[in-house]
Structure 1
């Protein structure tokens, strides 16, 4: 599988985080592969600060506050990614959507949750990709389902991160 990740670094501090490595592992997990049939997957990522994410959150979601991560899915269908519909639009390539992630907020949360920065950001990337695939956490039931999927993917990713030749 080919993973095409376009990263726009607004906040240069993000350059120390290996987005390509983690996104590549994430998109190659069994769960994602079972939902996306194309051999090439792409998404775009805005690596920004609190300032930019607050503007995006206000502009697109009407929320005048800072958040950790935002996701804009390319396709949604009843809470589940619809690969058949997407494949018809872009031959041999599945564009999942756009993600914006705030360095400041992620750093603050990682410290608060007593996690490493990388581990916390991996969790947020999984969370964002699930949003791109149509999952949400509006209701308690949806939140529980999404959290179970996140945990399953994170366990798989952790196993792969510690293998050689990632």
Structure 2
């Protein structure tokens, strides 16, 4: 689906690799696309962009995390930058980890999913949180994007 976001057009392909996402977070595909549009608008990007978001399970994310980051455990979201300007890259989300975190943090699963999509896309755009300064910059942008989506500050 391609949509205009201010001066950016976003094509976000959502790949449902774990059908349990449909039960655990109804409307997950719509939520992902909405978060993608909001992120590019919030980051003030112009032009045409595309990305893929895979809704996977912990098993797949664990194997990717072990292979690509040397961490043999699942994580909530992985981002793979493409290195191209128009195709941002791929994001993979782990359903069980996302659901567990939402419960532990007392957040709506849809809100937590939105946050992780925003977070993952910001990584695709070159943001990171390796230093305190970079983390503060990235988190401030996450907060602004999520506020536009009506989602409370995930860091408070």
Indicate how the Cα distance of structure 1 residues 53 and 115 shifts in structure 2: closer, same or farther if over 3 A, else same.
same
Indicate the SS of the match to 1:131.
helix
Report how many residues are paired: 140
What TM-score results when the alignment is normalised by the length of structure 2?
0.81
Partner residue in 2 for 1:59: 67
C-alpha distance in structure 2 between counterparts of 1:122 and 1:144, whole Å: 19
Higher RCO (Cα < 8 Å, 6 or more apart): 1
1:102 maps to 2:113: no
* Counterpart selection for 2:20 from 4, 13, 20: 13
Structure 2: 5+ residue runs without aligned partners? 152-156
Unaligned runs of 5+ in 1: 76-84, 87-93, 160-166
User: What RMSD over aligned residues (CA atoms) do the two structures have, in Å?
Assistant: 1.9
TM-score, normalisation: structure 1: 0.76
Which protein is richer in strand relative to its size? 2
The structure that is helix-richer by fraction is 1
Residues 127-146 of structure 1: matches in 2 within 5 Å? 127-146=119-138
Q: Which has the larger radius of gyration?
A: 1
